[in-house]
Structure 1
Amino acid sequence: MAPRSNPSERQRRLGAELRKLRNRAGLSGDQAAVILDADRARISNIEAGRIDVSRNRLYKLLREYGCPDGPYFDGLMEMAQGRGTGWWDEFRDVVAPIACDLAELEERSTALRTHDPLFVPGMLQTREYAHAVISESEPDPQRADRFVDFRLHRQRVLSVGSQVAYRAIIHEAALHAQIGGPQAMRKQLLRLIEVARLPNVTVQVFPFEAGAYSAYSRSFAIFGGVDTELDTVYLEHPIESVFLRDGELVDEYAKMFERLSSLALAPIDPESAPESHETRDSLSLIQHVMYSL
């Protein structure tokens, strides 16, 4: 089989992890090729994600590279087993490959952390809000509807019974933006309160008075793997979005998220009584904005 020209993020990540492990073991590409009884080009293609590696061959490489048993080992084996197919395939006619990579990554993640200084995160958007956002960049109504359907399908990872821990930090500015009009915004703010009732969801608001740190941090999402060494950062950009896999960079974004969380208001607790809000928290701020629309 000829090497693929456009590997998925999962395929690239598996290859990158194998290259990292090989380098840690102090082995050259030629030595790795001997382990698999293959040529050097095959190792290069595997590490670039351009060709797959069977589970048996991957197991052999991991053992020779000194990778110990545990979540990281199992996570790599699972990545090799994945075929990259899923519900997102039906949307490949309208969404870019990186969007399908994002959907696949969300399906495989154990935890999601997201920060957005401008919009309500896609995972929490209502149909009306999502349509208003997407229509700004997609004038074709039919394509816009398909994009919205894709975004709403992604939200299924937060459905009732999900084990994925989701934390969102949203800037207060996003609550005041008149996206889709007052009625659409009221529905969107109510949606934030409703989804926060899920036991695996935490929503915090970063208030204006907390300063400019949120704006400087920009928008980002952290996807937790079965092992922290498999965590991924996603940076969304209108021109070219990117996935970050470097451990040090991922750690920096994790620290940034915790800093944002410490500066943000207390999380939404929909079960608390109004009189219990002695100090302003995320719920009281959202309700204040919602009632003022």
Structure 2
Amino acid sequence: MCAGGVHVPARPRLTARRLRLAVELRKMRERAGMTATEAARALGTSQGQLSNVESARFGVSPERVRALAGIYSCPDQVFVDCLVAVATDKTFGWWESYREVLPSGLLDLAELEHHATAVRTAYTSHMPGLLQTADHAREIFRHVIPAPTPPEVEHRVSHRVKRQGVLYGADPTPYRTVVHEAALRMRVGGRDVARAQLRHLIDMGERDHITVRVLPFDVGAFPGSGQSINYLHGSVPQLDTAQLDQFHGPVLLDAEAHLEKYRLLLDTVEATALTPEKSRDLILAIAQDL
């Protein structure tokens, strides 16, 4: 597609990273104090074309990203290079095969985890998704409202298991989680499934790149109680994402104030939790009591 002699990339499949790229380009323009009309004129295109890029209705080439960064006088070259990498990446991730059968929010989370440089989580009433056994996940998904069909349950289980691939392989993603004792004591799927889940949590916590901490009941109130948090580190801090589990589906947050808040919250929760060694002992004791 061409407009005024300027090539406009075809509309891409809207993914979490593509949308984030569009959002960051808009933020960059706003920080430069430029209107969309002024920026479009400097770029040699129309305000409508630029608005379509900033809303992710149109794709944007790596060259266009660098041109916009130059127009906006962005001083952070590392940040610009990371945006260019997103614009360059045409990867069709494994999660795309689930686009017709699962909610888009689940695909967004898998995509962000795949590209994350590190992942931190905190869970109060559930086991971390990346550390769930297939049997545990299957039981959780059976209780989704509205009730899913058996094939839908299996789609969700296989998707969750594939997400866990980031924790394996030659270059696994560093992962830190805090799990409340309440989640450990829930007998999801009965004694055998619950015991197997706890032992899997212990085994995964033994891996060098995985840290599992427990918040015991006796800590009382703590920041963020009742809220499940996934914090996905981007290639630079500006591209971090906080993901919250809500009843209606995952919510992604990328505003600087939100990111700072959830980093601080996770720091505080980790400092409140037991050490990895004491956490392991408590998990083992709970498993033995089942």
Query: 1:276 matched to which residue of 2?
Result: none
SS in 2 for 1:30: helix
Query: 1:253 matched to which residue of 2?
Result: 262
Deviation at 1:36, TM superposition (A): 2.5
Deviation at 1:27, TM superposition (A): 1.6
One of 284, 288, 291 as aligned partner of 2:285: 288
For 1:71 and 1:107, locate their aligned partners in 2 and report how far apart those are by CA, in whole Å: 20
Query: 2:157 matched to which residue of 1?
Result: 148
CA contact (8 A) 1:16 1:47 kept: yes
For 1:228 and 1:215, locate their aligned partners in 2 and report how far apart those are by CA, in whole Å: 22
Alpha-carbon displacement from aligned partner over 1:44-98 (angstroms, at most 9, x marks no partner): 1111111111111111111221223543122101111223621112212321112
CA contact (8 A) 1:117 1:214 kept: no
Alpha-carbon displacement from aligned partner over 1:255-282 (angstroms, at most 9, x marks no partner): 00011001100014xxxxxxxxxxxx10
Q: Which amino acid aligns with 1:292?
A: D
SS in 1 for 2:121: strand
Q: Do the aligned partners of residues 5 and 212 (structure 1) sit closer, same or farther apart at CA in structure 2, a change above 3 Å counting? A: farther
Query: 1:30 matched to which residue of 2?
Result: 37
Query: 2:134 matched to which residue of 1?
Result: 127
CA contact (8 A) 1:162 1:200 kept: no
Query: 1:206 matched to which residue of 2?
Result: 215
Deviation at 1:189, TM superposition (A): 0.7
SS in 2 for 1:241: strand
Give yes or no for the alignment of 1:195 onto 2:192: no
CA contact (8 A) 1:206 1:214 kept: no
Q: Which amino acid aligns with 2:267?
A: E
Query: 2:22 matched to which residue of 1?
Result: 15
Deviates more, 1:208-217 or 1:58-67: 208-217
Q: Do the aligned partners of residues 238 and 5 (structure 1) sit closer, same or farther apart at CA in structure 2, a change above 3 Å counting? A: farther
After superposition, residues 1-293 of structure 1 pair within 5 angstroms as: 7-68=14-75, 70-83=77-90, 85-137=92-144, 138-213=147-222, 216=225, 218-268=227-277, 281-293=278-290
SS in 2 for 1:261: helix
Alpha-carbon displacement from aligned partner over 1:154-204 (angstroms, at most 9, x marks no partner): 000010433421111100001100101111111111111111122111110
CA contact (8 A) 1:171 1:214 kept: no
Q: Which amino acid aligns with 2:241?
A: T
SS in 2 for 1:105: helix
For 1:147 and 1:158, locate their aligned partners in 2 and report how far apart those are by CA, in whole Å: 18
Deviation at 1:240, TM superposition (A): 3.6
Q: Do the aligned partners of residues 242 and 93 (structure 1) sit closer, same or farther apart at CA in structure 2, a change above 3 Å counting? A: same
In the alignment of these two chains, the number of paired residues is: 281
For 1:173 and 1:160, locate their aligned partners in 2 and report how far apart those are by CA, in whole Å: 31
CA contact (8 A) 2:125 2:226 kept: no
CA contact (8 A) 1:88 1:100 kept: yes
Query: 1:272 matched to which residue of 2?
Result: none
Q: Do the aligned partners of residues 215 and 33 (structure 1) sit closer, same or farther apart at CA in structure 2, a change above 3 Å counting? A: closer
SS in 1 for 2:225: helix
Deviation at 1:6, TM superposition (A): 8.0
Alpha-carbon displacement from aligned partner over 1:214-238 (angstroms, at most 9, x marks no partner): 5635111111011111111101112
Q: Which runs of 5+ in 2 are unaligned?
A: 2-8
Q: Which runs of 5+ in 1 are unaligned?
A: 269-280
TM-score by length of 1: 0.91
RMSD across aligned C-alpha pairs, in angstroms?
Answer: 1.9
TM-score by length of 2: 0.92
SS in 2 for 1:53: coil
CA contact (8 A) 2:138 2:153 kept: yes
Query: 1:273 matched to which residue of 2?
Result: none
SS in 1 for 2:57: coil
